[in-house]
């Protein structure tokens, strides 16, 4: 599979876009005409720049409204094509892409349109240029790829093929029947793969310009599309043409790497008809969250330690050679890293007291590292002393790390690198058993990337997004989970400048962990043991509403209210949860799941967000 990226997909100057595509490992680029028009150097210079970077310029695009035009405009379009073919030669490409006509005054007569395209294809043939014709979802007469194929067939010219774009196909609700049964591989001029969230039918142009994303980041059946192509023996370029506001306002290199990661993922989900039907790597199972690591220094972390102590945590172990301690309760491991020569110190310098790393337990560390390398994750080289564990890690969300620990090892990480602190092993905590979920907040430009990081490397499922009303705007949340949901990572973002997610980003200096939820078997006993000093107060009106909505026993309502515990239920079970006040931007949650309840109490989120906003003002 050869990979390409349309320059419209990412931000920056044309030079920056080409450099980003090369650094991400793409084989080629489509030059979007606007990028070339606004660039100060000549097409020949662009060709040399691409050659020096090892990139093939695979196409120049797009050319609009070429068929079915009134006579005067028809002649103008032919002259335009002549000039653009000169540019294509200077760029060193032999492909030009055309979009279906969107003008209301154009003719829908297929024979006339075919005649126009045949004339253009004759012009292209004389210049050894291949034309690709694409159905825009909002095309005036040709909007479905089946109709575009009909027009290409009518034209019947060796220098005209069809351009297939998954966004335009799936946004119209097209099936793959025509592609599967009729379109031969040699008539496919180019394939562009884009994804998007499924939305109610709307203005296709607005949908296209603002909602496209990389394959695997949306809801369209892009895997099925590529499998059909592979079954037909297709082995030409797969290219991204993505219109997305967030993509074009973020780092071009970061988004180019995301794009390459998505094409690798897409390729890995499908099998070739001409090769052995195996995928290059299988994803090892992630079995749990082994630890959470905090970066602290000196007295700066005392507020955090006091809050954790209120939750029943105590420093139970000390690292054998570093200024690092461990808090344990149930199967929860919280690392406090005060070591000056460490990644945690660097994280503290940027973000203050914060979560600097997560530790995931995986069935096969070596294979997980291979998967991370395949998907262009950056490896982090850790410094370990003699006889100490050298736990491998990769760069995660923001500036954090993800450590990889063997799930089937005979020893836990603290059995080797830590020593028990005398006199604290008898502490029982408050009844917390394990880490239920860990919430991360990211910028709006990194929201899709963060979910796809967990999906591609670890094989996590990405649950449908939820809108959480904040008193200062809307927070959008989407959760990444492993197969048995023993690891749950809600990912939040907002476009509102004063909403809770943005306030966290400002306080924390960027993306990071904002929420840690601990599971318990009896939340009332846990809350009683911890006391109410650090609890987030919930307004009485919430409990009046809860009683009215769910007709709960008044005695239960009183018990919930007395301990600031919130409640939710559905057909699968029930959910009890309460929160601590924020400390250094992070808050803790205690949860008790009853039966098979697997949500997060989303119905209560707006009350919690308002209560946290009030806390910040006090």
Residues annotated within a binding site: 134, 165, 192, 241
Going through 502-586 in order, the beta strands assigned E by DSSP cover: 512-520, 566-570, 573-579
Q: Tokens for 566?
A: 């919130």
| Beta-ladder partners of 332 | 329
Instruction: Give the Cα separation of 470 and 475 in Å (integer).
Output: 6
Q: CB pairs under 8 A, 24+ apart, for 169-174?
A: 169/144, 169/145, 169/225, 170/196, 170/220, 170/221, 170/222, 170/225, 171/137, 171/196, 171/204, 171/207, 171/208, 172/137, 172/143, 172/144, 172/204, 174/144, 174/145, 174/146
CA 529-531-536 angle, 5° bins: 130
Sign of CA dihedral 237, 243, 248, 254: negative
Cis peptide before 62 (omega within 30 of 0): yes
Residue holding tokens 């074009």? Answer: 248
Q: Tokens for 482?
A: 């492993």
Instruction: Give the Cα separation of 514 and 148 in Å (integer).
Output: 49
Helices (H), 375-497: 413-417, 447-458
Instruction: Give the Cα separation of 520 and 591 in Å (integer).
Output: 6
Binding residue ranges for a divalent metal cation: 134, 165, 192, 241
Sign of CA dihedral 112, 116, 119, 125: negative
Q: Tokens for 148?
A: 């575009």
How, if at all, do strands 512-520 and 488-494 pair? unpaired
């Amino acid at each position: 599979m050869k990979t390409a990226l349309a320059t419209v997909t990412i931000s920056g100057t044309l030079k920056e876009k080409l450099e980003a595509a090369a650094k991400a490992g793409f084989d080629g680029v489509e030059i979007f005409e606007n990028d070339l028009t606004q660039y100060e150097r000549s097409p020949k210079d662009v060709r040399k720049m691409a050659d020096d970077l090892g990139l093939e310029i695979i196409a120049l695009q797009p050319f609009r409204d070429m068929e079915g035009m009134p006579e005067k405009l028809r002649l103008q379009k032919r002259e335009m094509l002549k000039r653009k073919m000169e540019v294509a030669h200077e760029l060193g490409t032999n492909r030009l892409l055309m979009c279906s006509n969107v003008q209301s005054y154009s003719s829908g007569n297929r024979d006339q349109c075919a005649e126009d395209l045949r004339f253009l294809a004759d012009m292209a043939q004389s210049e050894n240029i291949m034309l690709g014709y694409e159905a825009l979802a909002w095309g005036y007469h040709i909007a479905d790829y089946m109709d575009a194929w009909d027009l290409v067939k009518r034209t019947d010219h060796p220098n005209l093929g069809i351009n297939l774009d998954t966004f335009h196909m799936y946004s119209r609700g097209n099936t793959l029947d025509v592609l599967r049964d009729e379109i031969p591989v040699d008539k496919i001029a180019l394939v562009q793969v884009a994804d998007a969230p499924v939305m109610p039918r709307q203005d296709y142009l607005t949908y296209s310009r603002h909602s496209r994303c990389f394959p695997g980041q949306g809801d369209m059946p892009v895997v099925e599309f590529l499998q059909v192509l592979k079954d037909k023996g297709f082995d030409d370029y797969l290219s991204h043409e993505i219109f997305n506001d967030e993509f074009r306002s973020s780092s071009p290199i970061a988004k180019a790497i995301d794009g390459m990661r998505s094409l690798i993922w897409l390729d890995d989900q499908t099998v070739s008809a001409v090769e052995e039907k195996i995928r290059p790597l299988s994803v090892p199972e992630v079995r749990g969250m082994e630890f959470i690591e905090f970066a602290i220094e000196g007295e700066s972390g005392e507020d955090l330690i006091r809050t954790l102590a209120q939750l029943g945590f105590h420093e139970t172990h000390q690292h054998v050679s570093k200024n690092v301690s461990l808090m344990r309760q149930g199967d929860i491991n919280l690392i406090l890293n005060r070591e000056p020569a460490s990644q945690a110190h660097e994280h503290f310098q940027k973000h203050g007291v914060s979560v600097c790393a997560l530790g995931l337990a995986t069935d096969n560390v070596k294979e997980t590292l291979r998967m991370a390398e395949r998907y262009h994750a950056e490896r982090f080289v850790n410094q370990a002393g003699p006889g100490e564990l050298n736990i491998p890690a990769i760069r995660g969300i923001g500036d954090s790390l993800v450590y990889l620990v063997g799930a089937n090892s005979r020893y836990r990480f603290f059995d080797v690198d830590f020593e028990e602190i005398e006199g604290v092993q008898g502490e029982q905590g408050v009844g917390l058993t394990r880490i239920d979920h860990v919430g991360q907040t990211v910028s709006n430009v990194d929201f899709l990337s963060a979910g796809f990081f967990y999906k591609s490397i670890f094989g996590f499922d990405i649950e449908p997004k939820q809108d959480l009303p904040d008193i200062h705007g809307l927070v959008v949340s989407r959760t990444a989970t492993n197969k048995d949901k023993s690891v749950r990572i809600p990912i939040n973002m907002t476009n509102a400048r004063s909403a809770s997610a943005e306030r966290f980003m400002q306080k924390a200096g960027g993306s990071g962990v904002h929420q840690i939820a601990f599971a318990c078997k009896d939340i009332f006993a846990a809350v009683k043991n911890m006391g109410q000093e650090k609890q987030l107060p919930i307004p009485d009106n919430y409990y009046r509403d809860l009683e009215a909505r769910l007709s709960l026993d008044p005695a239960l309502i009183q018990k919930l209210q007395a301990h600031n515990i919130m409640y939710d239920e559905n057909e699968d079970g029930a959910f009890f949860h309460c929160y601590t006040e924020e400390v250094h931007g992070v808050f803790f949650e205690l949860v008790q799941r009853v039966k098979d309840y697997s949500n997060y109490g989303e119905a209560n989120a707006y009350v919690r967000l308002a209560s946290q906003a009030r806390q910040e003002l006090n």
